[in-house]
C-alpha cells in the first residue's frame, strides 16, 4: 500500500544501518550504499525492498515509538524507553492528557509524551537553555509532533508557564528547588514524576517531598536483562546497562473542600488527640501486616 509523503519511516540497510526519515515527494535518501528515491519507496509501501542506485537493498518499515525515541538527535542524556514506559502508565498519560515537563533536554521524553497525549492532549515543556530548547523543537518537527507541544524557554525557578495540568514530570538536577511551584501548576491529586541519577539526589528530593503537600511517594529503578537470541544456547547477554536512573513518583495534594464540608481546625485536632484512647497503628504493626 502506498505511503503518503509526510510520514516518518525507517529504512533498514543490509548491514544494520538505520535511517529514520520523513518521506518527502521527489526527495532522495543518501545512504552509505548510494541514494534511493523516496517516491519509489512511497509507491512500494511498508515492507518493500528498494534498491539504492548502486543496487543495495533497503527495506522501508513503519517505525514504532521506540524507534522514534532512539532516533532523537541528542545533546543531553535522554530518558530510556524502559523508564518512559513505566512513567506513562504510572502517571496515566494517554489521549487528552495535559502534562507539564522540565527540562526538555534533547526532547526524548517530549517526543514520547507528544505521541501518547494525541491531538486532544498537550505537552507543556520547559527548558532554560537556548540550544536544548531549539534541539527539542527540531526533534518534534522531524516527527511531525510539534502541534501537540507548547515549548517554553524558561527557568522553572520562575515557576511553570501553565496551570491546571493533569500531571507533571521533572528531569532536572535539583527538582527539590522547584517543589513549591508545583501545587499552582497542576490539578489537586495530580501525579508527579521525577528522574534522578544518584541516591544523594533522591534523598534530597524525599526530604523536600516530606514538607508537603505530597503523598503516595514511591522510589524505584527499572532493570532490563536481555538474552542472546540463540535457541541452542539461550542465556543472558554478557553485559547489561545496570543503572540509568531512579524514578520517584508522588501525588500532589491540596486542601480542597467538597461543598458543605468543614475541615477540622488545628485546635479541634489537638482537643481530639487529648481525648483519644484507642492506639494508632505503629510502624511495626504496618510491617507485620505486610502493608
Ligand X SMILES: C[S@@+](CC[C@H](N)C(=O)[O-])C[C@H]1O[C@@H](n2cnc3c(N)ncnc32)[C@H](O)[C@@H]1O
Question: Which residues form the interface with ligand X (CB under 6 A)?
Answer: 76-79, 102-103, 105-109, 126-129, 132, 155-157, 171-173
Q: Where on the phi/psi map is residue 33: left (φ > 0), alpha (ψ -120 to 50), or beta?
A: alpha
Closest residue (Cβ) to ligand X?
A: 103
- Rounded CA-CA distance 278/182 in Å is 37
- Quote the least distance from Cβ 149 to ligand X, whole Å: 13
Q: Which is nearer to ligand X, 63 or 175 (CB)?
A: 175
Q: Which is nearer to ligand X, 180 or 256 (CB)?
A: 180
- Quote the least distance from Cβ 186 to ligand X, whole Å: 17
Q: 250, 252, 91, 245: which is closest to 172 by C-alpha? A: 245
- Quote the least distance from Cβ 223 to ligand X, whole Å: 19
Q: 22, 33, 62: which is closest to 46 by C-alpha? A: 62
As given in the structure block, the three cell numbers for residue 151 are: 515549548
Q: Which is nearer to ligand X, 56 or 154 (CB)?
A: 154
| DSSP string covering 177-210 | GGGGGHHHHEEEEEEEEEEESSHHHHHHHHHHHH
Q: Which is nearer to ligand X, 37 or 155 (CB)?
A: 155
DSSP bridge pairs for 246: 196
Q: Which is nearer to ligand X, 58 or 249 (CB)?
A: 249
Q: 156, 141, 80, 94: which is closest to 122 by C-alpha? A: 94
- Quote the least distance from Cβ 193 to ligand X, whole Å: 11
The answer to whether 135 and 75 have CB atoms below 8 angstroms apart is yes
- The alpha helices in the chain, defined as continuous H runs, are 38-44, 65-70, 81-90, 108-117, 130-142, 182-185, 199-210, 266-275, 283-288
Rg for the chain (alpha carbons), in Å? 24
- Quote the least distance from Cβ 78 to ligand X, whole Å: 4
Q: Which is nearer to ligand X, 43 or 131 (CB)?
A: 131
Q: 10, 5, 118: which is closest to 69 by C-alpha? A: 10
Q: Which is nearer to ligand X, 43 or 158 (CB)?
A: 158
Amino acid at each position: 500500500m502506498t505511503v503518503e509523503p509526510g510520514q516518518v519511516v525507517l529504512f533498514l540497510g543490509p548491514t544494520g544501518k538505520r535511517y529514520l526519515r520523513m518521506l518527502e515527494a521527489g526527495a532522495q535518501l543518501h545512504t552509505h550504499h548510494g541514494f534511493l528515491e523516496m517516491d519509489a519507496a512511497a509507491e512500494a509501501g511498508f515492507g518493500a525492498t528498494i534498491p539504492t542506485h548502486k543496487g543495495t537493498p533497503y527495506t522501508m518499515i513503519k517505525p514504532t515509538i521506540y524507534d522514534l525515541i532512539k532516533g532523537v538527535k541528542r545533546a543531553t542524556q535522554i530518558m530510556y524507553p524502559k523508564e518512559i514506559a513505566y512513567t506513562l502508565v504510572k502517571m496515566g498519560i494517554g489521549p487528552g492528557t495535559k502534562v507539564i515537563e522540565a527540562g526538555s533536554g534533547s526532547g526524548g521524553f517530549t517526543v514520547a509524551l507528544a505521541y501518547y497525549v494525541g491531538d486532544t492532549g498537550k505537552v507543556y515543556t520547559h527548558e532554560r537553555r537556548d540550544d536544548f530548547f531549539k534541539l527539542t523543537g527540531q526533534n518534534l518537527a522531524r516527527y511531525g509532533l510539534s502541534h501537540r507541544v507548547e515549548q517554553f524557554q524558561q527557568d522553572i525557578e520562575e515557576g511553570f508557564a501553565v496551570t491546571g495540568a493533569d500531571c507533571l514530570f521533572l528531569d532536572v538536577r535539583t527538582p527539590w528547588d522547584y517543589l513549591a511551584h508545583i501545587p499552582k501548576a497542576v490539578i489537586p491529586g495530580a501525579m508527579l514524576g521525577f528522574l534522578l541519577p544518584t541516591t544523594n539526589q533522591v534523598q534530597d528530593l524525599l526530604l523536600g517531598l516530606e514538607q508537603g503537600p505530597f503523598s503516595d511517594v514511591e522510589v524505584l529503578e527499572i532493570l532490563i536483562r536481555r538474552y542472546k537470541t540463540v535457541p541452542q544456547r539461550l542465556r543472558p547477554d554478557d553485559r547489561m546497562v545496570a543503572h540509568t536512573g531512579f524514578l520517584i513518583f508522588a501525588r500532589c495534594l491540596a486542601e480542597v473542600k467538597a461543598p458543605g464540608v468543614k475541615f477540622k481546625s488545628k485546635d479541634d485536632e489537638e482537643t481530639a488527640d487529648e481525648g483519644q484512647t484507642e492506639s494508632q497503628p505503629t510502624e511495626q504493626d504496618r510491617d507485620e501486616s505486610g502493608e
